[in-house]
Amino acid sequence: MRTIRWRQSWPLLLAGTVTAALVASAAAGRLRPDRAAAPSLDTVNRLMREGRFEAAAADARALMNQRIREVGNAGVLPATARDPLVRACTDAVLAGHPLCVKWAVDVLEREERLSAGDPGVDRHAILLQLADLLTAANRLPEAERTFQRLLRTDTATFGEQSRQVISALVRFGTYYREAVGDLTRARDLYAQSLALRVSMYGADSFQAGAGLHNMAIVAADLDGYRPALALHQRALALAEKTLPPDDLGLAVIMDFHAVLLRGVGEHARSRAMHEQALAIREAKLGPDSVPVAGSLTNLSVVLAELGDDRRALEAADRALGIYERSVGNHINTVEAADHVAAIHARNGRFDLARRYYQRSRAILQVIRPPDHPSIGNATQELGTVDLAAGDLAAAERHFREALPLLERDEEHNSRALASVLDGMGRVELARDRPGRAAPYLERALALRRARFGDRHPKVAESLALLAEQRLAEGHWSAALDLALDAESISRDHLTLMVRVQGEREALRYAAHRTQGLDAASAVLATGRMPGAASRVWTEWLRSRALVLDEMTRRGRRARASAEPGVVAATEALGRAREDLASLTIRSVREELGPAVGARLRRAAADVERLERQVAARSGADAADQAVPDLAQVARRLPDGAALVGYFPYRATVGAARVRKYLAMVLPGRQAEPVAIDLGPADRIDALVNAWRALNDGPAPVVSRAADARRDRLDSTGAALREAVWDPVEAALGSANAVFIVPAGSLHLLSLATLPTGDGRYLLERDRTLHYLSAERDLLDVPDAASTRVQLLAVGAPTFDFAAARAPAAPDASSRAPADCERPLAFDPLPRSADEVHAIARLWQRRHGAGSARLLIGPDASEQEVKRRVSTPQVLHFATHAFLLDEACGLPALPETAASSFIEGPAPTSSLVLSGLALAGANQSASDLSSRDDGVLTAAEVSSLDLSATSLVVLSACDTGGGSLQDGEGVLGLRRAFHAAGAHTLVMSLWRVGDAAAMQWMDRFYTHLLAGAATSAAVRAASLDILGLQRAAGRPLDPTAWGAFVAAGDWR
């Protein structure tokens, strides 16, 4: 979609270019003159506000004739009588109702003629009004002659060095830039204006800064964003030096500077500056002024490019609401509507997007010449929507219509022209004609490189598309080079972005960025370039889990800092996360009213703001700059170990994009990696979901049902093993330990539980499996373990302080996620108290008395846990877990009418709606303190300091679950504990019974305290339970022994 350009609206700087509004589509049916009262200025203004432009213009004409009769045929109208009436006509013309043009032009020409030689009449203002009216009516030759007459008149009347001449030059330049599209002529006029400002007011004056501001606006189109930004930096410095901090002029300068920052990829700085400009305008002009709408539109653009479409559409919708209550058609209105359309298109609302784009083009066809490039741009946008909707014929038609309009001035229209060429190339690729696509895509790439430089995200987009084209033609090497170049550029930009973003917005940006690894993985899947696996895997390991790594490092830096600003921001962030969690839990327990909804939104915004503040204050460390490769990772593999990576990618199959999985295997330190195409992801994901569903819960008691389940387990498990493990195992050689980096739904699969077809399981083969978040985890050297070998075990929380809930039967209770019929209502877990006591005895037997602390019953509260978690080496939780967004589909926050259109994660994610139940979890909000709501959410976990914690054990149901995001893994408790600094996590992948969890944990700690590494202890515990089941003749289903896995530091 088109990048929305900023339009200026401050008269002092730009001589009166005014932001206008979008007229409601039904307005044309309501444009009847109101004859209930005699014409008056109040009536005209009311009709304008209502969008009844023809009626307003008719009344303005009647009122103008009345004023002329009052002054006589030879009298000049006072400006107070003339100006608002001419403005009403101009706005009516902009809204597509030109009937008033003739009389308004006649009046202005009469005024100019009668005022000749009269020093008391402002001929400058009259001629400006006439030029604006003629421009609005698309009578451009007459408008140009009027501007020329204005310059001659002002020079003769006021002298060359006068503010009137400066104003005329700026307005004339704006006419060339906006109405004619002649940017070179516009720059010449702006340069003349700047020279006069420097001569009259000095090089360090605000007026000089205003001139530089104008020059930068046209430089952005002529020279690109970086030269314009360098020029505008001086304008901003002068404005900040000479204007008060809440000055409206400063807001205008800031707004455009933010646009330039966005253009060079500095989105975080851009957003902050747009927010400053918006705050100034709201404070000075009120929340519903047109300049505020302009700032909202600009901010919306940045939010959309950051991937936050929900907030972007809310801002854009508010801006359009202001426009609808304002005046009529204008180029700013077009661009605001275009932006709303782009958001809808990106979220699959193609009919809505097409409607907004068609409206924009209709406005342009009224206010612009028929061959103006802006019409070509609007047509291109319609083509882009058609292409996204799958209508190739309509897309091609629109692109071909747009092409000649933009090619008339290729240099100045390079951005839009590249989009047209990109679209034409996509159409040809979709029709399986890659040879025809190549010239379009190559030309688009050249235009983008010339405009943006070699390392811009738009260049990455072109490179990735050209890689797909080369791949379709069978040019494997060229496709690979282009794809990896695209990935490098896109990843570098993502890295810069996430360092200054909050986690939610960073995740959204990561999800929307250009993926060069799709084409690179598709090249490997062909089997034509086996020697390229190392190059591709290196790019994958550099790109995987970047947001998680940044959040982990950011937390570590903040916790280690003694700088007061960092400490204050970190503490404030922790409180904000607690507030957001408390409000969210309250919204789940009780009916969500408007007041709580508003507080939720403010709390979510506070968390994001403080996350950005912590990021800005805590800086970066040397590790952030490291760029590892596969060879470095391979050197860290232990003896006899192999590395397996799974990778999701999208391949072009005909006109469709099909999601697939690729696996790569590194059999040992010195071995070469092997790439294996696993095929379509849909089938694998369905098998994973079926496998988890079969293991999730107790086995049937009735033998016929148990036999049927056993058959389904065998067939599903075998199919899943054949799909994701057998091809990998063949390449493992003699490795006795395998480090696995999952992807997609494979994050929710314990490979050890898959049957081998001989009545046994992969667990029983002589290999230990350990899971990593990313290959880079092998490079991490954990902080030195605490010399205090301490255990903190939390179990059997008193969920109901009133003890009204009857205890469940010990064997029947399950540490299951909250029931969707009664969210956040938890049954007692009688065996969890026995579990933590037994673990404490084992621990103290090994490490001595006093080495274990227990929090049981009412002591297992949220605040007590938070107070004590920072010192123990091992944390153990035996309680219920909850995962409400995935399990129950509960809305995280109330939506506005605008944001309800947006698909995808709500502002609060799995990090808020997943967690652990603690003491008081069943109490109502009124029974608890505002921050101790009885639950510890994943978001709150991420604010803890667990840097001294080598192991966290979550003895609860489905603690490894959450929502999935390609490239980032599971968003939930496992991610939160990792971000908090915990080295290793033992977690469950499905529901587990209270008694079964206690039995497994006893075996796990027995092996761990005997000296086994975590992953080895997990395997040994599962083997013990499986052996007991086999010896007792009980079912061998993985439900009983295979729920728990280890991830993180393998040592």
Task: Flag whether pLDDT at 928 surpasses 80.
Answer: no
Please list, in sequence order, all residues whose beta carbon lies within 8 angstroms of the beta carbon of residue 64, skipping any fewer than 6 positions away: 77, 81, 82, 85, 103, 104, 107
489-505 residue pLDDT tens: 999 988 888 887 888 88
pLDDT at 594: 58
The values of phi and psi at residue 676, to 5°, are -135, 120
Residue with the larger pLDDT of the pair 587 and 358: 358
Q: Span 559-586, mean pLDDT?
A: 83
Residue 397 lies in a domain: no
Residue 1047 falls inside a structural domain: no
Mark out the alpha helices in 347-388 (DSSP H runs).
350-367, 373-388
Q: 65-108 pLDDT, tens per residue?
A: 887 787 776 677 777 767 777 777 777 776 556 767 787 788 78
Structure tokens at 427: 């159409």
Q: In whole angstroms, how far apart are CA 273 and each of 169, 263, 565, 819?
A: 29, 14, 21, 45
pLDDT on residue 471: 95
Whether 226 has a pLDDT exceeding 60, the answer reads yes
Residues 880 and 926 in one domain: yes
Look up the CATH number of the domain holding residue 64.
1.25.40
Write down the pLDDT at residue 894.
36
Q: For tokens 């104008």, name the residue.
A: 214
| Within a domain: 1037 | no
Number of domains within the chain:
6
pLDDT at 578: 81
Query: Torsions phi, psi of 138, nearest 5?
Result: 65, 30
Do 723 and 678 contact (CB within 8 A), yes or no?
yes
Domain boundary among 529, 556, 583: 556
pLDDT value at 705 more than 70:
yes
Mean residue pLDDT of the chain comes to: 84
pLDDT of residue 328: 61
Q: Which domain holds residue 689?
A: 630-778
Rounded distance, CA 294 to CA 7, Å?
8
The 8-class DSSP code of residue 322 comes to H
Rounded CA separation 778/758 (Å): 34
CB atoms within 10 A of CB 351: 10
Judge if 130 and 10 occupy the same domain.
yes
What is d(CA 278, CA 248) in angstroms, rounded to the nearest whole number? 10
Q: Pairing between strand 1044-1048 and 984-988?
A: antiparallel
Q: Is the pLDDT of residue 129 over 70?
A: yes
Same-domain status, 882 and 813: yes
Judge whether residue 677 has pLDDT over 90.
yes
Cα 494 from Cα 31, distance rounded (Å): 50
Q: How far apart are CA 216 and CA 191, in angstroms?
A: 11
Helix ranges, 619-725 (H): 622-625, 630-635, 681-695, 703-724
Structure tokens of 1022?
Answer: 């599962």
Range among 105-114, 128-137, 430-439 rated most confident:
430-439
Find the mean pLDDT for residues 809-823. Answer: 51
- The helix/strand/coil state of 20 is coil
Q: Which strands make up the sheet holding 881-883, listed edge to edge?
A: 881-883, 914-917, 935-937
User: Rounded to an integer, what distance in angstroms lies between the CA atom of residue 485 and that of residue 489?
Assistant: 6
| 438 in any annotated domain | no
443 within domain boundaries: no
Separation of alpha carbons 361 and 354, rounded Å = 10
Q: Tokens for 426, please give them.
A: 């996509």
Which is it for strands 963-965 and 951-955: parallel, antiparallel or unpaired? Answer: unpaired
SS3 229: helix
pLDDT of residue 505: 80
- Taking the chain, what is the end-to-end CA distance rounded to the nearest angstrom? 48
Q: Could you give the C-alpha distances from 515 to 494, 544, 567, in angstroms and in order?
A: 11, 12, 37
User: Residue 69, exposed/middle/buried by CB under 10 A (0-12, 13-18, 19+)?
Assistant: exposed
Q: Are residues 590 and 655 in the same domain?
A: no
Weakest mean pLDDT among 206-210, 221-225, 391-395: 221-225
Pick from 532, 556, 580: which residue ends a domain?
A: 556
The pLDDT confidence band at residue 910, using thresholds 50, 70 and 90, is low
Q: Which residue has the higher pLDDT, 792 or 605?
A: 792
Same domain membership, residue 149 and residue 25: yes
How deeply is 709 buried, as exposed, middle or buried, from its count of CB atoms within 10 A (0-12, 13-18, 19+)?
A: middle
CA distance 281 to 293: 10
Of residues 346 and 72, which shows the higher confidence score? 346
Is 368 a domain residue?
Answer: no
Q: Structure pTM?
A: 0.78
Tell me: do 786 and 853 sit in the same domain: yes
The Cα 264–Cα 266 span in angstroms is 6
Tokens of 962: 């959450």
Q: Greater confidence, 111 or 989? A: 989
Give the rounded percent of residues in the chain with a pLDDT score beyond 70.
85
Q: Are residues 646 and 531 in the same domain?
A: no
d(CA 163, CA 844) in angstroms, rounded, equals 86
- φ, ψ of residue 103 to 5 degrees: the values are -70, -35
With beta carbons less than 8 A apart as the criterion, state whether 1007 and 979 touch.
no
The whole-angstrom separation of Cα 371 and Cα 349 is: 29
Shared-domain flag, residues 577 and 502: no
Average pLDDT over residues 653-659: 80
Query: Quick count: other Cβ atoms within 10 Å of Cβ 87?
Result: 20
For residues 588 and 703, membership in a common domain is answered with no
**Contact (Cβ atoms closer than 8 angstroms) between residue 958 and residue 947:** no
Q: Spell out the residues 6+ positions from residue 92 whose beta carbon is closer than 8 angstroms to its own.
A: 53, 54, 56, 57, 98, 99, 100, 328
Q: Which residues face 660 on adjacent strands?
A: 649, 680
Residue labelled with tokens 């982990």: 552
Q: Hey, what amino acid is at 869?
A: V
Please check whether residues 771 and 792 belong to one and the same domain: no
pLDDT score, position 65: 80
- What is the CB-side half-sphere exposure of residue 590 using CA atoms within 13 A? 14
**pLDDT score at 899:** 41
The pLDDT assigned to 412 comes to 77
| Final residue in a domain of this structure, among 318, 335, 356 | 318
- Give the pLDDT band of residue 1026 (cuts 50, 70, 90): very high
Residue with the larger pLDDT of the pair 977 and 330: 977
Three-state secondary structure call for residue 796: strand
Residue 552 lies in a domain: yes
- Could you report the per-residue pLDDT of 819-845, keeping only the tens digit for each? 555 567 888 888 899 999 999 999 999
pLDDT number for residue 886:
43
Given a cut of 50, whether residue 233 has pLDDT beyond it is yes
pLDDT at 553 over 70: yes
> Which DSSP symbol is given to 993?
B
Residues 771, 787 within the same domain: no
Separation between Cα atoms, residue 357 and residue 335, nearest integer Å:
9
Residue 889 clears pLDDT 80, i.e. is over it: no
* Same structural domain, 515 and 646: no
Mean pLDDT of 410-439: 93
Q: What is the CATH number of the domain that holds 930?
A: 3.40.50
Residues 995-1008 pLDDT 10s: 889 999 999 999 99
Phi, then psi, of 415 in degrees rounded to 5? -65, -50
Closest CA relative to residue 573, chosen from 551, 595, 597 = 551
- How far is Cα 877 from Cα 817, in angstroms, rounded to an integer? 14
DSSP 8-state assignment for residue 199: H
C-alpha 705/C-alpha 1022 separation (Å) is: 25
| Tokens representing residue 874 in the block | 């091992």
The confidence score (pLDDT) of residue 260 equals 94
Q: Which residue has the tokens 């054990």?
A: 953
What is the mean predicted confidence (pLDDT) over 543-553? 90
